[in-house]
Amino acid sequence: MKTLAKTPVTIVTGFLGSGKTTLLRHMLDNAQGRRIAVIVNEFGELGIDGEILKQCTIGCTEEEANGRIYELANGCLCCTVQEEFFPVMRELVARRGDIDHILIETSGLALPKPLVQAFQWPEIRSACTVDAVITVVDSPAVAAGTFAAFPDQVDAQRKLDPNLDHESPLHELFADQLASADLVILNKADLISPEDLAKVRAEVAEELPPAVKIIEASSGRLPLDVLLGLGAGSEDHIDGRHSHHDHHHDGDEGHDDHDHDAFDSISIELPQGEERVLMEALTQLVVKHGILRVKGFAAIPGKPMRLLIQGVGTRFDKHFDRAWAADESRVTKLVLIGQDLDAELLESTLRKALSE
């Protein structure tokens, strides 16, 4: 049992769609005996995210209760946090003898600096230290000058967020995510040319102190030795890191405002359907209704395995992940994330497409 050493905490930040969840899944899948606790502050439901996490062989519990902590098959822990960050941290602190590392995945617009500053509070500081803030960058989006996969929708989300300066352009939010970083990952490096990647690296480097390392990755695949054990002690020097939104958090003690869920999250259950028809229908919905993310799995007639689906904008990743269990209903379950979504319209459109 560990009783004296502080538990290291890694905070993973970056815009929605940059690849934070993929990086987190990679880290859990390669835990190699480390007992990792995960706090996910993201859109979607634990049922869907839990299903996806299962593909890392960790088996996240299916119950959906916000803030609950779930035991995972490999000794790790998992929970979602939408509002109550500190009660979960207190519970993890109480169990820190069973934990080797804590991972926190922030929501798409959460500014990391106030979260890091929370680790200066005596109750947490005595038990935990921020091992590193890792900022995940969507390299193709930065190369295109948009910083996020769907800049208009992220910008709309920004304008609805009462914690953000509504005059701040997306570039300032991007700069603030870099301002707190101890490590920057240029993700999706395989999707752009070496020349464009070099430009992205140079642009990112302009926002960083010289000591902050920049590394490239595809789908977040990096050795855990590179990601964990950095020993940055970020809470000790975070106050000296300038960001565009510093003035918004003066006197903010005792308050957590990391709930940036300005988008709707809609769960849809559908009957089996042809893969091509479903993917075409989803693509059309994304374009027409500005859907930002699609997560879930589908039942395809005649296929003994589930089709796992993840989409950012019109970019979809899909693969058959596991066989259906004998006692399992072969249905399609999807979570659609966007702004001002009409759940009934979206579901009826998909049902009509699948029935034709």
Residues 35 and 124 in one domain: yes
3-state secondary structure of 124: helix
Which residues are within 8 A (CB) of 117 and not within 5 positions of it... i.e. 6 or more apart?
235, 238, 239, 249
Lowest mean per-residue pLDDT among 16-20, 245-249, 296-300: 245-249
Q: How confident is the model at residue 63 (pLDDT cuts 50, 70, 90)?
A: very low
Confirm if 113 and 176 have CB atoms less than 8 A apart: yes
Cα-based distances in Å from 211 to 60, 90, 235: 37, 32, 16
Distance CA 140, CA 244 (A): 24
The total number of structural domains in the chain stands at 2
Residues 204 and 333 in one domain: no
3-state secondary structure of 310: strand
The two counts, helices (H) then strands (E), for the chain are 13, 13
* CATH number, position 328: 3.30.1220.10
Q: Quick one: pLDDT at residue 60?
A: 36
Range of the domain at 93: 7-240
pLDDT 10s digits, 118-168: 888 888 889 999 999 999 999 988 888 766 665 666 666 656 555 555 444
Residue 256 within any structural domain of the chain: no
Residues 182 and 41 in one domain: yes
- 302-320 burial by CB neighbour count: b if 16+ within 10 A, else e? eeeebbbbbbbbeeeebee
Residue 257 within any structural domain of the chain: no
Going by the DSSP 8-state scheme, the letter that residue 339 receives in this structure is: S
pLDDT 10s digits, 180-233: 889 999 999 999 999 999 999 998 998 888 778 888 998 888 888 889 888 888
Cα-based distances in Å from 280 to 43, 289, 292, 299, 331: 24, 14, 16, 15, 18
Residues facing 323 on adjacent strands? 305
Query: Quick one: which H or E segment has residue 230?
Result: none
Residue 250 within any structural domain of the chain: no
Mean pLDDT value across the chain: 76
* CATH number, position 182: 3.40.50.300
Q: Quick one: pLDDT at residue 291?
A: 78
Q: Quick one: pLDDT at residue 64?
A: 37
Q: Quick one: pLDDT at residue 353?
A: 92
Q: For residue 26, how many other CB atoms are within 10 A of its CB?
A: 18
* Residue 41 pLDDT greater than 70, yes or no: no
